[in-house]
Chains A and B, each alone.
Chain A
Amino acid sequence: MNGASTAKKRHNRLPAIAQAGPVSLWMILFVTIPMLFIIFISFMTRGSFGGVEYTPTLTSYETLADVIYLNVILKSLRVALVTTVVCLLLGYPFAYYIARKPADVASRLIMLLMIPLWTNSLMRLNAWMLLFQTNGPVNKALLGLGFVEKPVTFLYTDGLVLLGLITNFLPFAVLPMYSSIEKLQTAMLEASADLGAKPSVTFFRVTLPLTFPGIFSAIILTFIPALGTYTITDMLGGGKVLYIGNIIKNQFGTIRNWPLGAALSVLLLLVTALLIFVYSRFAKIEDMEVL
C-alpha cells in the first residue's frame, strides 16, 4: 500500500462506515459479545444443577490437559483434512467445468447443484442409509447379479461416513472455486496457449495460481465447519466415535458442564486460528487479510 493511496483512503470515511459498518456492528453485537461471555464462563465454576456459578476457577482448563482431549482434536483434524482434500480434488474440475460454460448455463448448473441441498440434510443421510442397508437396494442388486454371496455391511463404515461428509461439504467447496475460476479471463489462457504452453503448463502456471483465492475460500468453508461437525459422523458412523463437536455439545446438554464446554470452544478457536495463521503464512496469501 503506497502513501498516496492510503491518504486517499482516509478521506473515504463515510463510505467506509456505510460499507464496513453493518458487518462490523453485527459481528461485535452477535459474535464478540457472546464469545466474550463464553470466555468468561470458561473461567467460572460448574453449577451443581447445571448452569454456572460465578466463582472464578481454572478447573476447566486443568481438565483440558487430559490427553483424551488431544486425541479428540487430532481425530477431528484428521477427518476434516481428509474431507477437505477429497472435496478440493473432486470439486475443482467440477467448478472448472461449470465456469467454462456460458454464463446463463453456468448459473443454471449452479442452481441444479443447490436444489438438493434445500431438502433436509438429515433426510438425505437417511436416504443413503436406506440405500446401503443390509437388505437395501444396493445389496439386493449385488446379490442378484451374483457379485457377492451374502449381503455386504456398508452401514457404519468409514467409507459411508466419508461419502456423507463429501456430499454435505462439496457444494461449499465448489461455489467459491467456481466464482474465482469464472472471473479468469479466457484471453489470458488463450495467450498462454498461443505462446506455446502445454495445457498442463497453462493450468499449473496460470489457472491454478490465479484461482488461489477461491481455493483458499473453499478450504475455509469445508475444513473449518468439518472440524466442528458431528451430526453426519454420528449418524453414518453409528455414534461409536466422538468428535470435538459432540463433546462440546454434550457439555452444554446432558453433562451440564458449561464451563468445560466453553473452555473446549476456546481451545477449538485457538487451534483453528493457529492453523489459518500458519496456512496463510505458508501459502503467502496476501489477499486474505486474515489475522
Chain B
Amino acid sequence: MKRTLSVLVALIMLLTLTPAFAAQEEINIFMWSDYISDDLIANFEDEYGVRVNLSYMSDNADSITKLTAGAGSEYDLIMTCDAYMESLIAGGYLEQLDLSQIPNSENINRAYWSEQNQGYCVPYLMNYIYVVYDTERCPIEITCYNDLIRPEMKGQIGSVDGARNLFPIALIALGYDPNSRNENEIKEAYEWLVKYNENVVAYGSTETNMVSGTISCMFTYDGNTAEAMAQLGENNTLTVAPFTSDPVQLGFDLYVIPKGAQHIDLAYKFLNYICDPEVMAANLVDNPYSCPNDAAVAAASEEYRNGPAFNFDYKTNIFFQEDVGDAITIYDQYYQMLKVG
C-alpha cells in the first residue's frame, strides 16, 4: 500500500514538474480539437523553439464562460466566433491588437474582417451554413429556406442547433433582417421554426446522419459537408442546394488575445505564422474549411479549391451573425418554447 502510494506521488510530481523543467517558452491556446494541423503546430514549435499547449473546448460557449468568469489570463490565445465579438470588446475582456506585429494579416480579405474587429481578433477559418441535399433521396429540389418547411420534407432534415443559427433563416424566409431585435418578428420566426422543427429528424451530427442514410437534406457547415462528401467518395450524390436569392450565413472562427495574457509576444508570432499563405495552405489539406486568407486559398491545392462542398455560386450573398444585445433573451425564450412545445 505504502509503496503504491509513494510511486503514485512520484508520478504526480513528475507530471506536474515536467513543464517547469522545460526552460522553453510556452504559449497556451484554447480552441476546438482536431481543427488545426499537427504539422503546423510542430513546425511552429521547431521554428521558434517554443512549446505550444493546446487545450480544447467542448462547446462554443466554453470560451465565453471562461472569459466572463475571469479565467482569460490563463490563456494567450482563445478561439471564439464573430457573433460574440461585440460583447467581448464592450465587456473589456480582450487585449487590443497591434496589427503591425502581424504583417501577414495583410493576406486576409477585409470583406470578412470588419474595421472594429481588426482591433481585436484575427479570423482563422470560416464556415458557410448552407443547405445540402442528396439528389437521389431528397423528395424535392431545394432552392430557398421556405422549401425546408414543405410537408414533403417531413422526416428528411438534419440541422445545426442553436437559437442564433436557426432564427436567422426563419427571419430571412419571412423577409426580415436576420439579426432582428423586433419581438414580433422573432415571434413570427418562431412560428416558422415550429413547422421546420416538424420536418427535422435531429439537430447536430448532420454529416453522420447524412452518410448513414438517416436524412436526405441537411442545414449545416461547409467543412462538415466536405467531410461527408469525402467519406462518400465515388458514391457521392450530395449537392449544395442551388439557392436563388436567400442569403446564407457566414460564420468565423477567430483568435483573440484575452486581457492579461502572459505571452502576448508569442501570441503575435503565432497569429503571424498562421496568416502565412504557405502555412495556411498546408493546413487546409487537413482542415478543408473555407478560408478568409485569399493568398492561402490561391496557394492551396486544386483538390481543395475545387472541392464539391464549395461548389456553389452565391458565396457573396451572405449575412453575418451579429450581436443582438439584450434581445438574446427574447430569442432564448422562443427557442425554449420551440424545444419544449
Seen from chain A, the residues whose Cβ lies within 8 Å of a Cβ on chain B are 46-51, 66, 68, 71-72, 75, 129, 133-136, 151, 153, 155-156, 234-235, 238-242, 246-247, 250, 252-257
Contacts and interface: CB of A to CB of B under 8 A. Distances in A.
B203 A240 contact: yes
Interface residues of B, number: 41
Can you list the 4 inter-chain pairs with the closest CB atoms, starting with the nearest? A238-B202, A253-B61, A49-B91, A239-B203
Nearest to A122: B58
B101 interface: no
Interface stretch (B119-127, B294-302, B322-330): B322-330
Contacts of A234: 204
A238 B87 contact: no
Given A49-B91, A240-B200, A257 B332 contact: yes
Contacts of A68: 333, 336-337, 340
Contact of A253 (B65, B204, B205, B329): B65
Contacts of A253: 59-62, 64-65
Interface of B: 59-62, 64-65, 68-69, 87-88, 90-91, 93, 155, 161-164, 197, 200-205, 208-209, 212-214, 325-326, 328-329, 332-333, 336-337, 339-341
A257 B326 CA distance: 10
A135 B87 contact: no
A156 B201 contact: yes
Contact of A247 (B204, B328, B336): B336
A52 to B, nearest CB: 9
Contacts, number: 107
Contacts of A250: 332
Contact of B214 (A75, A153, A241, A256): A153
A49 B337 contact: no
Contacts of A71: 340-341
B214 A239 contact: no
Best-buried of A246, A247, A254 by chain B (most CB within 10 Å): A254
Contacts of A136: 212
A135 B134 CA distance: 15
A255 B65 contact: no
B122 to A, nearest CB: 21
Given A50-B91, A238-B203, A255-B163, 7 more contacts: A133-B213, A135-B213, A155-B202, A240-B197, A242-B339, A256-B328, A257-B329
Contact of A155 (B164, B209, B326): B209
A129 B158 CA distance: 15
B253 to A, nearest CB: 15
Nearest to A253: B61
Contact of B90 (A49, A66, A238): A49
10 contacts: A68-B336, A68-B340, A133-B209, A153-B155, A238-B202, A250-B332, A252-B61, A253-B59, A255-B328, A255-B332
